């Protein structure tokens, strides 16, 4: 249940894997706490590894780089969240959001290691094998021009390349030889909420299906308001108006002025 | 002078009212979208690619040159005020620029970024003006085997630069190359990986791929971290926007050094903007007279990398125009723009499309001036833009993304493709697979195959041709070194590893 328990600790944390001891401590600490301090500690160790001409001033910049990499932090919001003081983040952690469990429970599967990297690695391997298999099925025309190697050679090369790299990648993932990668996945699992993602996908799929039937500006206005709502806007009336204005403006600009046909919809509520 | 007369002609075209207006519009649009958090230059260009269906080729490329640069200028604003790098190359800017803004020196940071970008942009455009034709005449003599090797080198370096795990980068790259295979084989007419779907016969629309991987994936990513991450608060801009005498004294040398690093490295068919930017940051840190300020807001750390970044951006145009090889995600978007007009950049481009090339180059000069004049006075406006409600912003991005993709062929199929790539991009980003190699693979895959098959045809089916021709073998060896070298260094020992990490960039949003 708790990350602090040694049982839960990831196997690779315990295995030596070429890390120096004090490294591992920091690594573990970061894996457990996931607090800002934990991450900073790790950053500083990465720093310590150079053990060279680093001055104290360098360290701040260095820490941030290490931090960023650890958290695989690419989202603007998250970056700010990280930038805040540890206190901020802790406060944030304490409040359960939308009743979705997070923290230690949400991201500690039985093996103590996140599943996502291994699933992704297997998916890549499957894609590689499929591409390779389909490449063999490409018919080579009897009348290949001159000495052209035909349409099959390059796909075979790509399929083989993907299969081989994906296999290496899968072996690495299953061995857990990249703890930073696991840590990133754990962090992602901790912060991810699937509900808004699913809602957004359903909305977009609905948009794709209904666009030509209901018409461009009608569906687009709804899309705008719906996306805004899913992402947390609580002023749906205003959003719908903004969406309508935006949709009508783009419709007029593209369809009427630039001559790029946009579907008016079969219900023909023409302008 | 041949070059100068061509350039003069280019300026004559670029100064036509329509093109000036397009350059201005591109700059404004580029900075506007580039300023928005989460939208780097690559996404900016991707979102605006559909405009190609509206304007003529020359006009569109003038427009895109503006967007390309505008996105860069805008990106530095976000990096400094929000601490959000729009792409890997702006990471150093966040390291020094954001602390400066926190210390109330945001105005100086923005000014040195803008003026440095102008200096570097102009000098490196000058470089492109002369190096472009020179490279082009060399490129004409490149044989297919060597061409293939150069492409492999570009793949290898882009993969090595963006990925902290090269194996995952390679997975992305091969997947991208496989995506590029979809469609009818141009040499034999054989359909491949189309599963009988007629919409796939022409291949997967690159715009749909780009919009999906960048814009839609970004929206999904935002949704996934919704409640965990509060909106970024832009720092209020205190003080005036401008530099003191001392700022100037501390900035001009880093600008020039950044340009000297950025332009040549960017111009290599293996460069990209990340390496010179990080090199410049490290160089300034070493040379500075104020080492105690580094990490806390040293102006040199903004001036140098921003100049290097911009110089590399212009440098990247050299391989793009003369070889048709983009070495960054943003350059890939420009290549897509070219291809939408059935213009294939390559050794012949300078001869077959002189008007287009030289107008483009002339508009780069113009764009730089426009951005300098425009950007500094408009910074307060950009700051306001940073405060737009995030949900509305994402909704607006999705509206434009879907509009652009639909406008391509007026067919919902492309929208479905974009959505699928949105999901793919989201999942890849969550699991730490970089997107830039994937995009590059999808964009360059067909060309790679063509050169590969031509080389084999010329060699009468002898597969050893790539390693028996000395130049090709040497380039391939370099490519292998670029991929394997960092791995070996990492494995060596703690100190070497840390040093490799030193220059290994983080992956920010849009050009991972």
Give the residue among A110, A244, A162, A57 at the shortest CA–CA distance from B297: A57
With contact defined as beta carbons under 8 Å apart, do B259 and B311 qualify? yes
Measured between beta carbons, which residues in chain B are less than 8 angstroms from residue A193? Answer: 223-228
For chain B, the average pLDDT equals 84
Which H helix or E strand runs over B347?
none
Contacts of B448 in chain A (CB under 8 A): 154
| Segment holding B211, helix H or strand E | helix B206-211
DSSP string, A151-168: TTHHHHHHHHHHHHHHHH
pLDDT tens column, B433-483: 988 889 889 999 999 999 999 999 888 878 888 989 999 999 999 999 888
Out of A169, A180, A242, closest to residue B171 by CB = A169
Residue B63 pLDDT grade (very low, low, confident, very high; cuts 50, 70, 90)? confident
What is the mean predicted confidence (pLDDT) over B117-130? 91
Nearest to B356 by CA among B320, B403, B321: B321
Structure-token pair, residue B10:
């280019």
Minimal CA–CA distance to B42: which of B160, B293, B257, B211?
Answer: B211
Neighbours of B254 (CB within 10 A): 28
Do residues B287 and B239 make contact, with C-beta atoms less than 8 angstroms apart? no
In Å, how far is A196's CA from the nearest CA of chain B? 6
Q: Name every residue whose Cβ is closer than 8 Å to that of residue B477 and which is 6 or more positions away in sequence.
A: none
Is A165's Cβ below 8 Å from some Cβ in B?
yes
Q: Are B21 and B60 in contact (CB under 8 A)?
A: no
d(CA A69, CA A51): 20
HSE toward the beta carbon, residue B239, CA cutoff 13 A: 17
> If we measure between CA atoms, which residue out of A269, A163, A157, A147 comes closest to residue A218?
A269
B330-370 confidence digits (pLDDT tens)? 888 888 888 888 888 888 888 888 888 898 889 889 889 98
Residue of B96, B174, B186, B194 to mutate, testing the A interface (most A Cβ within 10 Å of its Cβ) = B174
Mutate to test the interface with A, among B100, B184, B395 (most CBs of A within 10 A): B395
The per-residue pLDDT for range B186-221, each reduced to its tens digit, is 888 888 998 888 889 988 988 899 889 988 998 898
Using the predicted structure, report yes or no on whether residue B171 has a pLDDT greater than 90. yes
Q: Are A247 and A270 in contact (CB under 8 A)?
A: no
Q: Who among A76, A131, A181 is closest to B38 (CB)?
A: A76
B150, B156, B160, B163 alpha-carbon torsion, rounded to 10°: 130
Mean pLDDT (whole number) for B78-90: 79
Are the C-beta atoms of residues B261 and B279 closer than 8 Å to each other? yes
Contact yes or no for A73 and B506 at CB 8 A: yes
How much of chain B, in percent, has pLDDT values that exceed 70? Answer: 91
Q: Is the pLDDT of residue A81 over 70?
A: no
Q: A147: which residues sit within 8 A by CB, 6+ positions away?
A: B456, B457, B460, B461
**pLDDT tens, B391-439?**
888 898 899 888 888 887 888 899 999 999 999 999 998 888 988 889 8
Q: Which of B262, B267, B292, B238 is nearest to B109 (CA)?
A: B238
For range A133-157, the mean pLDDT: 80
Residue in the structure block whose two tokens are 């559909």: B50
DSSP string, chain A: --TTSGGGS-HHHHS-TT--HHHHHHHHHHHHH-SHHHHHHHHHHHHHHH-SS--HHHHHHHHHHHHHHHHT---HHHHHHHHS-HHHHHHHHHS--TT---TTTTT--TTSS-SHHHHHHHHHHHHHHHHHHHHHTSPPPTT--TT---TTHHHHHHHHHHHHHHHHHHHHHHHT--HHHHHHHHHHHHH--HHHHHHHHHHHHHHHHHHHHH-HHHHHHHHHHHHHHHTT---HHHHHHHHHHHHHHHHIIIIIIS-------TT----
Report CB contact under 8 Å: B508, A74: yes
Average pLDDT over residues B122-145: 89
* pLDDT of A101 over the 50 cut: no
Tell me if A165 and B174 make a contact (CB, 8 A cut-off): yes
pLDDT of A142: 59
CB atoms B38 and A178 under 8 Å: no
Could you tell me the two tokens for B73? Answer: 């200028």
Angle of helix B390-409 versus helix A216-230 axis, rounded to 10: 150
Give yes or no for residue B293 having a pLDDT over 80: yes
Regarding pTM above 0.90, the answer is no
Q: Distance, in angstroms, between A7 CA and closest chain B CA?
A: 25
The residue of A89, A131, A231 whose CB has the most chain B CBs within 10 angstroms, and thus the best one to mutate to test that interface, is A231
Q: In chain A, which residues have their Cβ closer than 8 Å to the Cβ of B84?
A: 76, 79-80
- Chain A residues with beta carbon closer than 8 angstroms to that of B462: none
pLDDT of A227 reads 94
pLDDT at residue B416 in the model? 95
Dist. CA B72–CA B79, nearest whole Å: 10
Helices and strands, counts by H and E, chain B:
23, 2
Q: What is the DSSP letter of B227?
A: T
Confidence of residue B238 (pLDDT cuts 50, 70, 90): low
B396 neighbors A246 (Cβ within 8 angstroms):
yes
Most B-contacting residue of A166, A204, A207, A254 (CB-CB within 10 A), to test interface: A204
């Amino acid at each position: 249940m708790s990350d602090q328990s040694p049982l839960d600790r990831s196997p690779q944390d315990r295995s030596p894997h070429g890390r120096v001891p004090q490294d591992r401590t920091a690594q573990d600490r970061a894996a457990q706490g996931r607090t800002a301090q934990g991450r900073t500690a790790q950053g500083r160790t990465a720093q310590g590894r150079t053990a060279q001409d680093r001055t104290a001033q360098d360290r701040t910049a260095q820490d941030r780089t290490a931090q960023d990499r650890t958290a695989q932090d690419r989202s603007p919001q998250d970056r700010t969240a990280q930038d805040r003081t540890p206190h901020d983040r802790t406060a944030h952690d304490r409040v359960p959001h939308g009743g979705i469990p997070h923290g230690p429970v949400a991201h500690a599967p039985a093996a103590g290691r996140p599943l996502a990297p291994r699933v992704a690695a297997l998916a890549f391997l499957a894609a590689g094998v499929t591409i390779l298999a389909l490449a063999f099925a490409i018919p080579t025309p009897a009348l290949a021009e001159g000495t052209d190697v035909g349409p099959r050679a390059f796909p075979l090369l790509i399929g083989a390349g993907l299969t081989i790299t994906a296999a290496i990648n899968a072996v690495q993932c299953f061995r857990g030889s990249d703890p930073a990668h696991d840590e990133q996945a754990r962090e992602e699992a901790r912060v991810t909420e699937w509900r808004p993602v699913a809602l957004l996908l359903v909305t977009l799929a609905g948009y794709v299906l209904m666009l030509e039937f209901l018409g461009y500006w009608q569906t687009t206005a709804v899309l705008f308001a719906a996306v805004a709502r899913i992402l947390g806007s609580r002023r749906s009336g205003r959003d719908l108006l903004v969406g309508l204005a935006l949709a009508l403006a783009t419709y007029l600009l593209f369809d009427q002025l630039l001559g790029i046909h946009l579907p008016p919809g079969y219900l023909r509520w023409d302008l | 002078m041949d070059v100068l007369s061509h350039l003069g002609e280019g300026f004559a075209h670029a100064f036509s009212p329509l093109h000036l207006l397009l350059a201005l519009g591109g700059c404004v649009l580029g900075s506007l979208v580039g300023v928005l958090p989460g939208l780097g230059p690559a996404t900016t260009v991707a979102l605006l690619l559909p405009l190609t269906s509206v304007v003529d080729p020359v006009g569109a490329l003038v427009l895109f040159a503006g967007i390309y640069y505008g996105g860069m200028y805008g990106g530095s604003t976000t990096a400094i005020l929000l601490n959000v790098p729009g792409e890997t190359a702006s990471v150093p800017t966040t390291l020094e620029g954001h602390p400066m803004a926190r210390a109330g020196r945001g105005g100086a940071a923005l000014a040195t970024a803008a003026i440095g970008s102008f200096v570097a942009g102009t000098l490196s455009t000058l470089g492109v003006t002369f190096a472009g034709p020179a490279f082009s005449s060399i490129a004409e003599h490149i044989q297919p085997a060597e061409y293939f090797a150069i492409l492999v080198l570009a793949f290898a370096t882009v993969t090595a630069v963006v990925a902290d795990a090269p194996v995952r980068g390679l997975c992305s790259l091969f997947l991208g190359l496989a995506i590029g295979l979809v469609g009818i084989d141009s040499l034999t007419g054989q359909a491949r990986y189309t599963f009988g779907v007629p919409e796939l016969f022409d291949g997967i629309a690159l715009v749909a791929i780009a919009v999906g991987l960048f814009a839609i994936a970004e929206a999904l990513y935002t949704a996934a971290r919704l409640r965990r991450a509060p909106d970024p608060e832009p720092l209020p801009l205190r003080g005036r926007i401008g530099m003191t005498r001392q700022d100037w004294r501390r900035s001009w040398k880093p600008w020039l050094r950044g340009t000297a690093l950025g332009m040549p490295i960017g111009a290599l068919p293996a460069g990209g903007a990340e390496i010179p930017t990080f090199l410049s940051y490290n160089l300034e840190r070493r040379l500075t007279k104020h080492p105690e300020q580094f990490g806390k807001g040293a102006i040199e750390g903004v001036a140098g990398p921003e100049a290097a970044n911009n110089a590399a951006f212009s440098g990247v145009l050299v391989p793009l125009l003369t070889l048709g090889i983009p070495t960054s995600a943003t350059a890939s978007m420009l290549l897509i723009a070219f291809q939408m007009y059935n213009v294939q950049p390559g050794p012949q481009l300078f001869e077959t499309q002189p008007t287009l090339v030289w107008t483009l180059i002339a508009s780069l000069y113009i764009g730089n001036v426009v951005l300098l004049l425009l950007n500094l006075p408009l910074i307060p406006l950009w700051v306001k833009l940073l405060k737009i409600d995030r949900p509305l912003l994402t909704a607006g991005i999705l509206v434009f993304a879907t509009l652009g993709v639909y406008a391509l062929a007026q067919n919902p199929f492309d929208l479905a493709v974009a959505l699928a790539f949105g999901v793919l991009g989201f999942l890849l980003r969550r699991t730490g697979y970089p997107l830039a190699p994937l995009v590059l693979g999808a964009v360059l895959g067909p060309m790679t195959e063509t050169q590969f098959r031509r080389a084999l045809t010329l060699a009468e089916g002898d597969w050893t041709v790539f390693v028996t021709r000395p130049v090709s073998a040497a380039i391939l060896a370099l490519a292998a070194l670029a991929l394997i070298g960092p791995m070996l260094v990492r494995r060596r020992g703690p100190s070497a590893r840390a040093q490799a990490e030193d220059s290994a960039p983080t992956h920010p949003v849009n050009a991972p």
